[in-house]
Amino acid sequence: MSADFRNTTRPAPDAVLTDIADYVLAYRIESRLAYDTARHCLIDTLGCGLEALEYPACTKLLGPLVPGTVVPNGARVPGTPHQLDPVQAAFNIGTMIRWLDFNDTWLAAEWGHPSDNLGGILAVADWLSRTALAAGKPPLTMRAVLTAMIKAHEIQGCIALENSFNKVGLDHVLLVKVASTAVVAQLLGLNRDEIINALSLAWVDGQALRTYRHAPNTGSRKSWAAGDATARAVRLALIAQTGEMGYPSVLSAPTWGFYDVLFKGKPFSFQRPYGSYVMENVLFKISFPAEFHSQTAVEAAMQLHAELRRRGKSADDIRHLRIRTHEACIRIIDKQGPLANPADRDHCIQYMVAVPLLFGRLTAADYEDGVAADGRIDALREKMRCVEDSQFTRDYHDTDKRSIANALRIELNDGTLLDEVVVEYPIGHRRRRADGLPLLEAKFRRNLARRFPQKQQDSILAASLDAARLEAMPVNEYLDLYSIAA
């Protein structure tokens, strides 16, 4: 049906916009599990950012746009001397935490990393707190940050449950921009109409293409794209705060709306109302900095590395390796041929299986050129084949299971078939929380030790591991714990 462009009546806002606005303004989070998980998500995400500061490719992008810029009451960038305006601080924090592909993950029709929103949330909350203190007013507490995290996770994750943006070529960071816009607007004190306007601005933007995540163009933009998205969200919320108008049918407008232009004319579908489901079920990357669809494959490869050693064998004795996996894994990270850079390697399941089979480890450094130059890695990759298991695919989408299963079976040069190793749920899955959380805290301690002296580490740990103390702590005081002298 063609649009009637003569009708100039302003429509009511799309329900997608109003539902999000009502959620961030009125929904009260009652789940203790959600808050406890958010606290673990906070420390894990910040720890990922601290580890990324060891990589010049990341740090070259950080700091003010104009060197020497001084921002009164600026937001701190953890682990650095930078204190920036909230937009640039959001970019800095968001880029750090995503750089190594080690922060949390959500897998559904669309996938993504909901903790990417922390860039905008922390930057705005810190800036608002320092500005309030300068005016003699009380700052925000970390409870407000955790609440915003839960709600950002929920918005991004619930939209992702039934709506695949990657299938139309769009990158999942558009959901970071939308979710960050909503919660940042609420932190800024925008009213319902202003939040709806801000959300419409987020949807009306040009959206990122996924081409930087896929061959032949895979590159490092995938490591700063979420920082860019959460920073853009802060800017759009600030624009809406000025009273700038919005676009109520930005999604549904015939011909010109998001659905018709970018989503093949399909409106979004929703599986559940907004609550705290996503934070409660989010996946943590604990053991390996690897694209999440490969996490269980890496676990299986570590087991097979030990089995080969037990038999007096090595990866050189492998004739063939079958990876039985789910459809999303094959679509995203099943790669043949040359891998151009670290961003290419950490999205190749064959590479992420070959390294632990050869060396009994997989670290962020293993994606760098020095390790990748080892010819045994590519030789082993050529012996691998991915096949889809339809049951693994069904379990991946099952709302009660949400498994991310992989199974590895090795055939040796002498014809011996090793027992297939199947791992359905990675260590960061909710079904393995009891095993995973102590390891997550250990990961945080390691990352703190990369950047801070012992006394500062102890201060951060004392605040971060005590839920009641953390939630009551002013945001600016918590971020001051992560400060580094210039």
What residue type is assigned to position 482 of the chain? Y
- Give phi and psi for 450, each to the nearest 5: -65, -25
pLDDT band (50, 70, 90) for residue 486: confident
Kindly report the average pLDDT of the chain as a whole number. Answer: 95
pLDDT of residue 1: 39
Q: What is the mean pLDDT of residues 278-299?
A: 93
At 418-457, the pLDDT tens digits run 999 999 999 889 899 889 999 999 999 999 999 999 999 9
Label the pairing between strands 318-325 and 83-84.
Answer: unpaired
Q: Is 83 helix (H, G, I), strand (E, B) or coil?
A: strand
Q: Give pLDDT, residue 439.
A: 94
CA quadruple 102, 175, 20, 161: dihedral positive or negative? negative
Phi (first) and psi of residue 423, to 5 degrees = -130, 115
C-alpha to C-alpha distance for 125 and 205, rounded to whole angstroms:
24
Per-residue pLDDT at 9 exceeds 50: yes
C-alpha of 307 from chain center:
33
Return the percentage of the chain with pLDDT > 70, whole number: 99
Between CA 262 and CA 240 the distance in angstroms is 24
* pLDDT recorded at residue 342: 92
Is residue 408 classed as helix, strand or coil in its secondary structure?
A: strand
Count of CB atoms situated within 10 Å of the CB of 414: 8
Mean pLDDT is lowest, of 7-11, 79-83, 112-116, 174-178, for 7-11
**Which DSSP letter does residue 114 get?**
G
Position 5 scores a pLDDT of 59
Does residue 42 carry a pLDDT above 70?
Answer: yes
Phi-psi category of 11—alpha, beta or left, where left has phi over 0 and alpha has psi -120 to 50?
beta
- Distance of alpha carbon 180 from alpha carbon 399, whole angstroms: 25
Q: How far apart are CA 357 and CA 455, in angstroms?
A: 38
pLDDT of 8 = 82
Exposure letters 440-459 (e unless 16+ CB within 10 A, then b): bbebbeebbeebbeeeebee
Residue 247 makes CB contacts below 8 A (sequence gap 6+) with 200, 201, 204, 253
Which whole number is the average pLDDT over 40-46?
Answer: 98
Q: At what angle do helices 118-134 and 86-98 cross, to 10 degrees?
A: 140
Nearest Cα to 241, choosing from 183, 189, 203, 177?
189
Assign 100 a pLDDT band (cuts: 50, 70, 90): very high
- Banded model confidence at residue 6, pLDDT cuts 50, 70, 90: low
Has residue 356 got a pLDDT over 80? Answer: yes
Strands (E) in 260-365, as ranges, are: 318-325
For residue 3, is pLDDT > 60?
no
pLDDT above 90 as % of the chain: 91
Angle of helix 433-451 versus helix 32-52 axis, rounded to 10: 40
Place of tokens 């695919």: 393
Specify the pLDDT at position 107: 86
**pLDDT of 453:** 98
Structure confidence at residue 245 (pLDDT): 98
pLDDT, residue 123, reads 98
Do residues 204 and 254 touch, judged by C-beta distance below 8 A? no
Q: What is the pLDDT of residues 357-413, one digit of tens each?
A: 999 999 999 999 999 999 999 999 999 999 999 999 999 988 888 899 999 999 999
Find residue 388's DSSP bridge partners.
325
d(CA 161, CA 119): 23
Q: How many whole angstroms separate alpha carbon 115 and alpha carbon 20?
A: 18
